[in-house]
Each structure stands twice: as structure tokens, then as C-alpha cells.
Amino acid sequence: MPVTSTTSSDAAGSTPTGSGAPEAPFAVGGDSGSDPKVTDVRERLAAAYQASAVAPEKAQAKLDSQGKLYVRDRIAMLFDEGSFVEDARYANATAKGLPADGVVTGRGTVDGRPAIVIANDPTVKAGSWGARTVEKIVRATEMALREELPVFWFVDSAGARITDQVEMFPGRRGAGRIFHNQVALSGKVPQICCLFGPSAAGGAYIPSFTDLIIMVEGNASMYLGSPRMAEMVVGEKVSLEDMGGARMHCTVSGVGDLLVGDDTEAIEMARLYFSYLPANWRSDLPSYAPEEPSAPLTRHTVPERESQPFDIHEVIDGLVDDESFFEIKPLFAPELVIGFGRMSGETVGIVANNSMVKGGVLFTDSADKAARFIWLCDAYSIPLIYLADVPGFMIGSEVERGGIIRHGAKMVHAVSSATVPQFCIIVRKAYGAGLYAMGGPGFGPDATIALPTARIAVMGPEAAVNAVYANKIAAIEDPAEREQFVQDMRREYEEDVDLERLAADLVLDQIIEADALRAELLLRLRYAKARERHFATKRRDIPPV
């Protein structure tokens, strides 16, 4: 999790527009020469404007009890001060109790870069969707598609209003169009979701189509069917938190990416995440002032014994600029670490095995986690650095029944098809298909670089000797003779995959000490910028499911 932000403190802390909102932009009342009809229009519009300017007293009290911000205060924290322009504020103005029809849409700038916001107002019918709510959201996504603008989704909604279902659900401009447009936006512009409250039923798919889901613990939830519905339909009694709470989704299901404490932290994380990304797929990545790492790598950072676990974050922190690592999904499948960092002020994506957790073995969840992150980096032209310390994929009946082959294939598919610069760093072990999943030589990385601690093989020496000579080992009765035979076979195996031999056979492009790795990568990243961005000519991939 990042500690500091490069975003503008002035922008992040701009004056909220909720309780301190400006007066309606109408001259209410008239003089003796005023047309009564015009005066009436002005008064009604002013009332409609003020109805969504602040939360009603009772609704504000509920927000306060939940530790939530009013929707306009959330938006004020997102955008640079004075930059927000709102669309369709008077939606459903003629209906009582539906100011702006429960959603605020418009555009502003985030650190000077234009973006769109779509923000549910939970004080209006619990943020539920009516026909005009959906139309406003569809129009905002259409604007994002036309102008290739990033979208911030501020979700806090109980779902569809059953009373409006015919008008808002099935048609060509019904709720389904929102998801259609989100898919069209995917990979074209960043879509960032702050989930402040519920995202229920079909509406739960809005966050799922975004690039990043930030969930507020204790308030945020996602579910297709409520606990009450689950009990009624399938007979299951379950709490909302266990069914679809923020912590569950960030630790178990993997749907959530970041777990935060409150609305303010969620918006700060959204702004910080955006600072690593381009405005759209055509734009350049943002650049920042170069900084040195917080703790430079040394020759002693990586333990020489491959059986000794260590925290791969130490290597990451030694590669990236000071406190610039932004980890994604830190609570889900932590045996694999993913996230953005800056190297000399430029964004890179990092995929790293962490031997401190489950030995760094790849499971179905870690493969899924990696695959999506690699696709995201490829979409936004972010170079990838793989830090391999992996025994391979997990084995056993449980993971086979869980589909580890198809999940692992997703990761290998992502590595294969990515066209951004990719660098494979063999930190220690890279065994079996783990080498492939971590962007090994066969996948055309811009370079495969090994530390002196590296080992590359089909499997580790102990497993290999046992696999090949199991019967012969069992037949040797004398324990000392048996142990000597095993040691001889291990030594022979290790000589066969000697690091110098791998370099001599051009498997490795470079062997380097850890303290020189950052400088080496910075040079190679600079030279790789002009690489060809093409993988294969065809209509599309058919990724493993």
C-alpha cells in the first residue's frame, strides 16, 4: 500500500460542495416588471437546484452515523477545485423526492487531466436507479467513449427501482447499455470504482467491469442476491458481510482490489492510482521527478539458499523510486505481488513471487490475479518487470479439481500476448511452468536477467532425482550408500542446469549482482520504448476461461 501521494494536496483537499454549496444560479423573485411565468420557472428551478445541493437533515444524520460523505463532498475531493461541470442536474425535477434522480454526473480535472464522474446519491431512494438515472449514466459513458475520457465510478446504490423497471431495464437504452458501454471503454480509458456502500443485484456488475475496485470496510458490499433472497431461494442463512462484504471480496473472492477505512481514503487511493496511468490508451504515461529507492538493493538482499523464505517487497523497494510502489490486491493471493511503481519517475508494472507466503507457489487465484494485471498493463502501455522466485504451480487433486490448468493457462496467455516491454528477472528459483508464467525466455521478453542466486530447471534437484531414480533409490538397502547416491545424482543434475552454462547457451541475456540491477533495468527500459507493438494478426484471442 502506498504511503505518500504525488497528487496535488490543494486539489484533494478542495472545499466540499455539499453543505457549503453555492446558491442556485437564478435570480429568485422579481420586480414589478417581471413576467410571472418566468418568475415561477426561476423559483421552481432554484428549488430543484437546492434539493440536490445538500442532503436533507435526516439523510445527513444517517450518512454521519455511517461515516459517509455526501455525494457532492465526494466529488469535490476528487476534482481540482472549481473544475467540475455537472450534466442533467434537473433530471426528474418534476417528481417529488428524486433530486437529480439519484445520480450526479459530469466532468472535471484530476491534477489537470479531464475525467468523468458517475456518482450515486444514497440519500435519494438509497441511490437506486430509475429511468432517468440510467439515461444519465448511459450519456456519461457515451461521452467517455466519444472523447476517450477516464471514468470514476462512485458507487453507493441499492439497485433498480422496481416501479421503473419497464422504463429502465429491458430496452436499447436500458441498464444493459451501461454494461455494454463499460466493456467498450475497457482498455480504452481507465475506469476506477470507489465502492462506498452497496452495489446490489445487476448493479454489482458495474464495479466488476472497472479496472480497480476500492471498497470501504464496513459500508461497501457487492452481491447478486441479498441475504434475505438467499434464505428465501436457496435456504441459506448468511450475514451481509459474509455474503458480499468488503473484506470478504478483498480477501476471498478477489473481486475487490483495495480495502480502505473510509470515503476519504478511498478517493485518495483512486487519485493516486490514476497518477500511474495515462488518460487513455493513446496517451503517454505521466512522468514525475526521479527519486532514488528507499532502501537500495545489495548483494545480501536476496538469501542465497533457495529454501529460505524472504519478503519480495524488499527487492521491489530496492528497484522503484522512494515509496512509489502501489500494490494491488495485497490481501488476495499474497503469494504473488502485483502493482505499479516508478523507476526514475516512469511507471512500471511489477509481477513478483513472494516466497514468504506459501513458498511463492502459483495457485488458481494468483494466476488469475497476475493475468488481469498483465492485461491491464498491456492496455495502457505500461512496461512489465517479472521477479521470479517460483517453485512452479501447485499440484494435487484439490487444485486440479479447481481448474489450475485453465487458470494457469490464463496467466501464460497474458504473458504471451502482451506487447509492452517485458523483463524477466530470475531472482532465485524458476522451476517448471513457473518460468513460463513469469515471462521466461521462451516468451520473448526484452531481456532475461539472472542474479547469481538464480536457478532454472524443470523442477528442483530433490524432486528431479526422486522422479527419475525413485525405484533405484528404494532398492538401495544401505542408508549411507543410498544418501551418497542421492547426493551424486543431485550434483549431476545441478551441473546440468548451471547458471554459467545457461548464459553460454543464450538462455540468459545477463547475469548481474542485485546492487546493479536497477541501473541495468533503467537502461533497458529506455531502449525498449521504441519496440514494435504487435503480437499476431487475427480477429481476437480466445483466452482460457
Residue 208: Cβ within 10 Å count: 13
pLDDT score for 32: 67
> Which structural domains are found in the chain, ordered by start?
55-276 (3.90.226.10), 312-529 (3.90.226.10)
Question: Can you spell out the DSSP letters for 434-479?
Answer: HHHHTT-GGG--SEEEE-TT-EEESS-HHHHHHHHHHHHHHH---H
Q: What's the pLDDT score for residue 22?
A: 56
Q: What is the pLDDT of residue 294?
A: 95
Following DSSP, what letter does each residue of 24-48 receive, concatenated?
A: PSS--S--TT--HHHHHHHHHHHHH
What pLDDT score does 543 carry? 85
What string of H, E and C letters represents the secondary structure of 228-257?
HHHHHHHCCCCCHHHHHEHHHHHHHHCCCC
pLDDT, tens digit, 9 for 90 and up, residues 36-76: 899 889 889 999 999 999 999 999 999 999 999 999 999 99
Contact 4, 272 (CB under 8 A): no
Low-confidence spans in the chain with pLDDT less than 70: 1-23, 27-32
CA-wise closest residue to 352 among 296, 312, 309: 312
Taking alpha carbons only, the member of 83, 68, 424, 419 closest to residue 267 is 68
Q: Report yes or no: 62 and 84 within 8 Å, Cβ to Cβ.
A: no
Strand 326-328 with 221-223, pairing? unpaired
